[in-house]
Amino acid sequence: MRNEFSKAIEQLALADDKILFITGDLGYKALENVQASLGPRFINAGVAEQNMVGMAAGMAYKGYKVICYSIAPFVVYRCHEQFRNDVCLHNLPVFLVGNGGGYGYGIMGSTHHAIEDIAVLSPLQNVTCWVPAFADEVEECVSGMVAAGRPAYLRLGYGPNTPSLESVSGSFKILQRHEDAEGTVLALGPIAANVLKALEKTTRKFNVLTALTLPLQVTDEVADLLENAGHVVTVEEHVSIGGLGQQLSLQLLERGTRLKSFRSLRAAGYPQGLYGDQSFHQQQSGLDPDSILNVLTSLRSYAVF
- Say if strands 94-99 and 152-156 run parallel, antiparallel, or are unpaired: parallel
Residue 301's pLDDT is 55
Residue 164's pLDDT band (cuts 50, 70, 90) = confident
More confident residue, 221 or 3: 221
Q: Is the pLDDT of residue 304 over 50?
A: no
User: Domain ranges in the chain?
Assistant: 2-156, 167-297
* Percent with pLDDT over 90 in the chain: 89
Indicate the CATH number of 167-297 among 3.40.1160.10, 3.40.50.920, 3.40.50.10420, 3.40.1620.10.
3.40.50.920
| CATH 3.40.50.970 corresponds to the domain 2-156 | yes
Give per-residue pLDDT as tens, 125-159: 999 999 999 999 999 999 999 999 999 999 999 98
Q: Helix, strand, coil % (nearest 5) of the chain?
A: 40, 20, 35
Give per-residue pLDDT as tens, 166-204: 999 999 999 999 999 999 999 999 999 999 999 999 999
pTM of the model: 0.94
Cα–chain-centroid distance for residue 289? 19
More confident residue, 45 or 26: 45
- Say if strands 206-211 and 172-176 run parallel, antiparallel, or are unpaired: antiparallel
How far apart (Å, rounded) are the C-alpha atoms in residues 133 and 118? 14
Q: What is the mean pLDDT of the chain?
A: 94
How far apart (Å, rounded) are the C-alpha atoms in residues 63 and 80? 22
* Percent with pLDDT over 70 in the chain: 98
**Closest residue by Cα to residue 192 from 232, 240, 144, 160:** 160
How far apart (Å, rounded) are the C-alpha atoms in residues 117 and 102? 8
Q: Is the pLDDT of residue 305 over 70?
A: no
Residue 303's pLDDT is 43
The two domains 2-156 and 167-297 share their CATH topology (first three levels equal): yes
How far apart (Å, rounded) are the C-alpha atoms in residues 68 and 278? 25
